[in-house]
Structure 1
Amino acid sequence: MDMNQYLSMFIDESNDHLQSLNENMMGLEANPEDLSIVQVIFRSAHTLKGMAATMGFEDLASLTHQMENVLDLVRNNKLRMQDFIFDTLFKSLDALESMVQDITGGGEGKADVSAIVADLQAIVRGEVPAAGGASTGSAPAASGQAETPIHLDEFQFSVLEQSIQEGHKVMFVEVAIREDCQLKAVRSYMVFDLLERSGEVVKSFPSVQDIEQAKFDHSFSLYYITQKDASEIQAMILNLSEIDKVTAIALDQESLHQLGQDTAAATAEAAAAASEVAVAVETPVAPAATSTPAPRAAAKEEGAKSPAAGRTGGTPSRTIRVDIERLDVLMNLFSELLIDRVRLEQLASEMQSGDLTETVEHMSRVSADLQNIVMKLRMVPVDTVFNRFPRMIRDLAKSLDKKVDLVITGAETEMDRTVIDEIGDPLVHLLRNAVDHGIESVADRIAAGKPETGTVNLRAFHSGNHVFIEIEEDGRGIIPENVLKSAVKKGILTQEEAASKTDEEAYQMLFAPGFSTAEVISDVSGRGVGLDVVKAKITALGGNVTIYSTPGKGTNFSVQLPLTLSIIAAMMIKLGSEKYAIPLSSIVETGIIKQTQIRTIHGNKMLEFRGSHIPLVSLSRIFSIPDYDESTEEETEIVVVRKGERLVALAVQDFIGQNEIVIKNLGKYLPEIQGISGATILGDGQVALIIDPNAFIK
């Protein structure tokens, strides 16, 4: 089978399971006695193992299998979760994520995980793992150590039961190979070959794949259907060389049903989730009629649902994955439909046809609904970004020996997928900055009369056509004077400039490039390191970031972002025979000025605006509009736009009105045009360029 066609599905599903594992591990760390969480973690790990084995990623499957062994002891009350177990499992998740990332990049998912595997195996043995995979001491267990049993699914159980009813002999066989055997996989093959001449192997543990690759500890067990007696089977196997011990136990209806009771819960789980998409790439259960033992994927957790889907009943998934490029194509086709709709409206008006007019009006209503659906298709909750932060904060706080609670609100807030994809890294940096430099150490917090556990609030909410994401902590806060002193020391500001800065302007200095490239003195708490990159990324997305801080109380970084980068609200303007669009998110206000209000300062046109002077930019001159010059008119319309705290007035000829426009890229064949961020197709088929206000303010 060509597995390449399933690779994309495997990567998506694996990332979902890894995210679920991280989230549930965090939940288990907060409630170590909650075995229901352990069950969810076990099922997710089992499904991931089956997927990886099916796709041929053996290292990934092997590591997940070792995690399974630990989790199996925990969920059966034979091992208590402790800090060192959590740390080892989190290291395992990090390794799994690295392997999946390698697969995503075209690699084979290989990794040296021998040290982590040794730690997991030590935990299973009841030992405390030490550095480098060694182990010392013992891990407290609830009731001794456990052997991993063979779990039968409903189909396998019914096959064994029917075989007994039809007069066949069903037995449980355990085979131990000598410790000094150099080719244990070959000896195992000889056992299976011998057994299959006289009957059928229904289930084995370990799996056939593991046995063939010698991934077992000199012993294996299986369920077997035959006409021979147990003593005959035992003697046959012992006749093979290098076989140390054989145990064959005949099963009757009573003993088989007792076995069924032990695995009833697992059978119910499998039946309830048989239709789950997550198991589509797992190895299917081999029927009893075949001559090959059933693979490990048929164990009791076979078919368990994906916890990442957030469902508890095994209900089939109601969602599908769609490539973002397909949504872009859909958006482009829809914009063409809008053009045709406007043209039809014009034709209906010219022809004075009642039927045609009525049909076009209905089409307009339907297309309006379609536009709403198309926009919503690209919207995804910010939870897709937020969900990786709790684990990050947990690890960072642990490494800094701090106590930090991350409180997330508004995770259901939706944004355009293109914005979501770009905002992750800036938020990571702001959160790390909050924990590393904002939250004090436990001793400092106690000395300041604060709770020893610091709180970082991560909030998201809608406001108009924007989404606000706030990162607020109750740490030491920022002292404006220290920021300004550091800026003067680095040569970013003169002493006179620093003296005239307000607190808000001082906070904005943290985003200055020069401020972040040099070493920051300790009394500024390290703030500013890399924040210029954060500001640049947010600005490139059409957003803005503002800092609010109270010394001794904490700091708030407020990030303002557009809802979408594909459809925006814009003010349509006219310059001569050409039309342009200005994003509403950048507009402060519009107005009309007289030529007498324009001042020339150092050769630049300036305009008094609300108590200060701002630059006046002539768009007709910048874009070389041949049939319009605002200097010949007594009055000129202006649009005041903002970038951060800076304002500029753009001179225009006329306002056309406000429209929802679809942004189209200018294409790779056109050079980058200063002041233009893209284009849109208007209802009448004309192309209007979209003005980039940030370029004029720069």
Structure 2
Amino acid sequence: MDTNEYLDMFLEESDEHIQVMSDEMLKFEQNPKNIDIVAVMFRSAHTLKGMAGTMGFESTQKLTHTIENMMDDIRNEVIDPTQETIDFMFKGIERLELLLNEIREYGSERSGIDDLINAEKPAVKETSGSEEAELVVNDMEKDIILDAKEQGSNVFTVSFQLRDDCLLKGIRINMFFKELNNLGEVLSLKQNEEDWEKEDFNGHIDLIFATSSNKEDIEGLVSKLSEVEFIKASLWEEPKEEIKADNGPDKPKKDLEEVKPEATNVTDDKSSSPDPEANKGEEAKSPESHRKQTASIRVNLEKIDSLMGLFEEFIVEKGRLQNIAEQLKDKELFESLERLVRTSTEMQTSLLSMRMIPLDTIFNRFPRMVRNTSKDLGKNINFVIEGAETELDRTVVEELGDPLVHLLRNSLDHGVEMPETRKERGKNEQGTILLRAYHKGNEAIIEIKDDGNGINVQKIKDKIIKQNVITEKEADLLSDDQIIQYIFSSGMSTAEQITNLSGRGVGLDVVKTKIESLGGSVKVETKVGIGTTFVIVLPLTLSIIQSLLVRQGEQTFAVPLSNVLETIFVESEQIRKIMDQEVLYYRNEILTTHKYSELFAKDHSGDDKHYALIIQNAFQKYALLVNEIVGQQEIVLKPLQGYAKDLSGVTGATVLGDGSVAFVLDINFFQQ
């Protein structure tokens, strides 16, 4: 069978199973007595093992099988979920993730797994003679057991243990099963037969057995066999939790109603209707409702990108048509264009929603990373995620992984103090790191906040002077906020020594470069001894936006319309200066003022009268002065290439209806 055509589907579904296992492991570490969590992990591991086997990825299959066996042993209470066991499973999940990435990149597995496969397994729990092991059975096994009991068989839980000095364990076990089969039938075996021949096999087997014999006959087999420590049998009983849930075969329904008389209030009246036709109608209706809720198809992302590209070309041509209509002054053409604009707006909304994905696709990676890193650093961290359902353009989300990893590691290494230091400072020994996302206008805000040290401004100041970035005299003229911005400089690090986490001065430099390449910005808020917050501001989409076209001299610029609160006409006399900064007093507010003519245009004529655009970004509100307002227009935002890509003050460019090129304003360029 040619499996190449199924590779993408295999990788996609495997990623989902790995994520489930990772998420559930984090829950299980906090609540190791909850066996239900293990059952969820076990199902994902079992499915992944089967898929890997079908696709021919042997290492993935073997490693998943090892993890699955450990989960099964925990589920059946053969081993205890110790910290060592949990750490082993985390390592296994990380190695599986690495193998899948290798398959994705190279088409084959390259990393070894022998260190995990051959690792020392946790010791089996010791059970005293008075203890009776309660084996967990699945629904299918339970049905088989109940059928055997209905046919009159006695069903026993049997525990078999070889002596520690037994050499030929596989032979002894086969002899045990030969004798056991003479008495009845094995309904469920809780160990894998292939493990019996392994050197590290502990010689312990649990099984469920149906027979017409009694307990003494089963336990008496120990006298017929050699090198056997014990054989224990006890009548199998359905777990109390299941009896309660199922109401039991012998417990009348009336008793349950007496215990919970209000239970009927939860159930819909129609479901308890004595009319069979009514129930039939409900049954017929239910599948249809289910289909409507789950109707979806998988679409290759390249097809969506191709469709988006075609729509972008359509937007450019629509702009040309609008320009022609303005020149011809044709009423029918205007009416047709209005309908076209309404339709294209709906199309745009639909297409952009197809490209939007929730941030949890990357946020879900971080709990395990934070857990492992904090463990390596010896720190106690409470990692909180809020707003993971916040949606951004897929292109933006795909590029956010590395910057967020750098910021989280920065908080873990530089931010949160060691437990003993926090205790001395009167803080909770457990530090908190908050990763939060939310929408604000036409932007998405992501915050990484810790309650640690805060940033030592003097330390940064000394470092940049020592590295000859600026002189001491120049540094004295800078505000604290301006000095803090130097942490984003290449080669800047306040770490005392180089580690695998910090000290090389490349982390935050990468963050700033990547965020700005996405049309966003990053800001730092800090208080010494209280903590630090990194604030990332990103556009919801990088493709099509509503803009306000303005003109300065002969040059036309586009300003994102969602950030323009209002436009007003002002004269030069209304603009004042406070401490060498031009400001505009408007609606009881003093707004800092910026002029396009001073920054981008060559033509400075006609600057006595201006239009002021009141602009609000994530950090501040300010007034932008321009000569002329052209009007609103939907534009396709294109990134700058070549020499123009480092041009300050703009995030991209667009082609207008007349064929001219207009730059798009970076609204965060004037950030104070």
Is 1:546 the counterpart of 2:523 in the alignment? yes
For 1:37, give the aligned amino acid.
I
Distance (Å, rounded) in 2 between the aligned partners of 1:672 and 1:660: 23
Q: Secondary structure at the match of 2:118?
A: helix
Aligned partner of residue 78 in structure 2, secondary structure: coil
Please give the secondary structure, in 2, of the residue aligned with 1:122: coil
User: In structure 1, what residue type is equivalent to 2:545?
Assistant: I
1:2 and 2:9 matched: no
Give, in whole Å, the separation in 1 of the partners of 2:581 and 2:118.
72
Provide the secondary structure at the position in 2 that maps to 1:391.
Answer: helix
The CA deviation string for residues 263-306 of structure 1, in whole angstroms up to 9 with x for no partner, is xx9xxxxxxxxxxxxxxxxxxxxxxxxxxxxxxxxxxxxxxxxx
Other-structure match for 2:114: 114
How far the C-alpha of 1:59 sits from its partner, in A, is: 0.8
**Are 1:532 and 2:505 counterparts?**
no
Q: Shift in Å at residue 649 of structure 1? A: 10
Structure 1 residue aligned with 2:270: none
Which deviations, in whole Å up to 9, do the C-alpha atoms of 1:574-614 show, x marking residues without a partner?
4677744344688899788889999xxxxxxx994567998
- What is the one-letter code of the residue matched to 2:377? L
More divergent stretch after superposition (1-10 vs 470-479): 470-479
What amino acid maps onto 2:83 in structure 1? D
Instruction: For structure 2, list consecutive stretches of 5 or more residues without a partner in the other structure.
Output: 152-166, 170-187, 206-225, 227-234, 243-289, 585-591
Distance 2:94 2:106 in 1: 19
**1:617–1:584 distance in 2 versus 1, CA, 3 Å:** farther
**Mapped partners of 1:139, 1:485: distance in 2:** 64
1:688 aligns with 2:665: no
Q: 2:417 is matched with which residue: 440, 450, 455?
A: 440
In structure 1, runs of 5+ residues without a counterpart are 128-137, 165-178, 182-202, 221-244, 246-257, 266-312, 599-605, 622-628
Cα 1:430/1:678, change in 2 over 3 Å: closer
Distance 2:601 2:85 in 1: 68
Q: How does 1:15-26 map to 2 (within 5 A)?
A: 15-26=15-26
Aligned-partner SS, 2:121: helix
2:86 counterpart residue number: 86
Q: Which residue of 2 aligns with 1:659?
A: 633
1:334 matched to 2:334? The reply is no
Shift of 1:19: 1.1
Residue 376 of structure 1 corresponds to which residue in structure 2? 353
**C-alpha separation in 2, matches of 1:586 and 1:520:** 43
For residues 347 and 589 of structure 1, do their structure 2 counterparts lie closer, same or farther at Cα, with a shift above 3 Å needed?
closer
Deviation at 1:350, TM superposition (A): 6.8
Letter in 2 for 1:461: Y
Identify the match of residue 126 of structure 1 among 124, 144, 163.
124
Shift in alpha-carbon separation, 1:142–1:90, aligned structure 2, 3 A: farther
Q: Write out aligned runs for 1:39-58 (5 A).
A: 39-58=39-58
CA contact (8 A) 2:442 2:563 kept: no
Question: Could you give the per-residue CA deviations for residues 56-76 of structure 1, whole angstroms, max 9, x where no partner exists?
Answer: 001101111111111112222
The superposition leaves residues 383-427 of structure 1 with CA deviations (integer Å, 9 ceiling, x where unpaired) of: 111111111111111111111101111111111111111111111
5 Å matches for 1:30-41?
30-41=30-41
In the alignment, is the contact (CA less than 8 A) between 2:607 and 2:627 conserved in 1? no
Counterpart of 1:393 in structure 2 is: 370
Please say if 1:450 is aligned against 2:427: yes
Partner of 1:286: none
Cα distance in 2 for partners of 1:314, 1:44 equals 24
Shift of 1:568: 2.9
Q: Do the aligned partners of residues 9 and 204 (structure 1) sit closer, same or farther apart at CA in structure 2, a change above 3 Å counting? A: farther
CA deviation after TM superposition for structure 1 residue 329, in Å:
1.7
Name the Cα RMSD after superposition. 5.6
The amino acid of 1:27's aligned partner reads K
Change (3 A) 1:468 1:142: farther
Displacement of 1:54 after TM fit? 0.5
Distance in 1 separating the partners of 2:77 and 2:168: 35
Secondary structure, aligned partner of 2:106: coil
1:457 maps to a residue whose letter is L
- Per the TM alignment, residue 11 of structure 1 is displaced from its structure 2 partner at its CA by 0.9
Q: State the shift of 1:665 in Å.
A: 5.4
Contact 2:512-2:522 within 8 A present in 1 as well:
yes
Amino acid at match of 2:71: L
C-alpha distance in 2 between matches for 1:543 and 1:141:
67
Q: C-alpha separation between the residues in 1 aligned to 2:464 and 2:535?
A: 22
C-alpha contact (below 8 Å) 1:415/1:564 kept by paired residues: yes
Q: 1:631 aligns with which of 605, 628, 652?
A: 605
Offset at 1:657?
2.4
Equivalent residues of 2:593, 2:625 under 8 A apart: no
Relative distance call for 1:360 and 1:565 in structure 2 (3 A) is closer
Q: Which amino acid aligns with 1:445?
A: R
Shift of 1:443: 0.8
Residues 526-535 or 376-385, more deviating: 526-535
User: Secondary structure in 1 aligned to 2:81?
Assistant: coil
Deviation at 1:428, TM superposition (A): 0.8
When normalised by structure 1's length, the TM-score is: 0.65
CA 1:492–1:680 in 2, change beyond 3 Å: closer, same or farther?
closer
**Take 1:379 and 1:508, find their aligned partners in 2: how far apart are those partners?**
31
- Are residue 467 (structure 1) and residue 440 (structure 2) matched? no
CA distance in structure 2 between the partners assigned to 1:571 and 1:613 by the alignment: 17
**Partners of 1:486 and 1:520 within 8 A in 2:** no
C-alpha deviation, 1:343, in angstroms: 7.5
Q: CA deviation at 1:141?
A: 14
Match for 2:407: what amino acid? L
- Out of 384, 389, 407, the residue aligned to residue 430 of structure 1 is 407
**Cα–Cα, structure 1 residues 364 and 327, in superposed 2: closer, same or farther, change >3 Å?**
same
Alpha-carbon spacing, 1:139–1:339, altered in 2? closer, same or farther (3 Å): farther
C-alpha deviation, 1:37, in angstroms: 0.9
CA distance in 2 between partners of 1:529 and 1:535 (Å): 10
Task: Give the aligned residue type for 2:12.
Answer: D
Task: Name 2:76's counterpart in structure 1.
Answer: 76
Q: Normalising by the residue count of structure 2, what TM-score does the alignment of the two structures yield? A: 0.67
1:521-551 CA-to-partner distances (Å, cap 9, x unmatched) read: 99xx979663222122212222222211111
How many residue pairs align between the two structures?
A: 553
Q: Give 1:503's aligned amino acid.
A: D
What's the CA shift string for 1:446-494, capped at 9, x where partnerless?
Answer: 1111111111111111111211111111112223223222222222232
Contact 1:477/1:554 (CA < 8 Å) preserved in 2?
A: yes
Q: Give the superposition deviation at 1:439.
A: 0.9
Give the distance between the partners of 1:562 and 1:340, measured in 2 at CA. Answer: 24
Contact persistence 1:78–1:146 (CA under 8 A): no
1:663 to partner: Cα distance: 2.1
Query: Which amino acid in the other structure matches residue 33 of structure 2?
Result: E
Distance in 2 between the 1:642 and 1:490 partners? 37
Task: For 2:659 and 2:190, locate their aligned partners in 1 and report how far apart those are by CA, in whole Å.
Answer: 70
Whether the aligned pair in 1 keeps the contact of 2:654 and 2:662 (CA below 8 Å) is yes
Q: Residue type of the partner of 1:510?
A: I
Code of the residue aligned with 2:516 in structure 1: it is T
- Report the 3-state secondary structure (helix = DSSP H, G, I; strand = E; otherwise coil) of the residue aligned with 1:631: coil
**1:631 alignment partner AA:** S
Change (3 A) 1:697 1:413: closer
Q: Deviations over 1:14-67 (max 9, x none)?
A: 111111111110011111111111111000111111110110001101111111
CA drift of 1:689 comes to: 3.3
Summarize the alignment of residues 235-254 of structure 1 with structure 2, pairs less than 5 Å apart: none
The aligned counterpart of 1:276 is none
User: Deviation at 1:327?
Assistant: 2.2
Change (3 A) 1:319 1:436: farther
Cα gap change, 1:487 to 1:340, in 2 (>3 Å): closer
Relative to 1, partners in 2 of residues 1:448 and 1:618: Cα closer, same or farther, differing over 3 Å?
A: closer
Paired residue type of 1:662: V
In the alignment, is the contact (CA less than 8 A) between 1:59 and 1:109 conserved in 2?
yes
Structure-1 separation of matches of 2:139 and 2:55? 23
Instruction: Provide the rounded CA distance (Å) in 2 between the counterparts of 1:399 and 1:520.
Output: 16
1:493 is matched with 470
| Conserved? CA contact 2:42–2:71, under 8 Å | yes
Q: 1:362 to 1:569 in 2, by over 3 A?
A: closer
Residue 53 of structure 1 aligns to a residue whose secondary structure is helix
Distance 1:538 1:378 in 2: 19
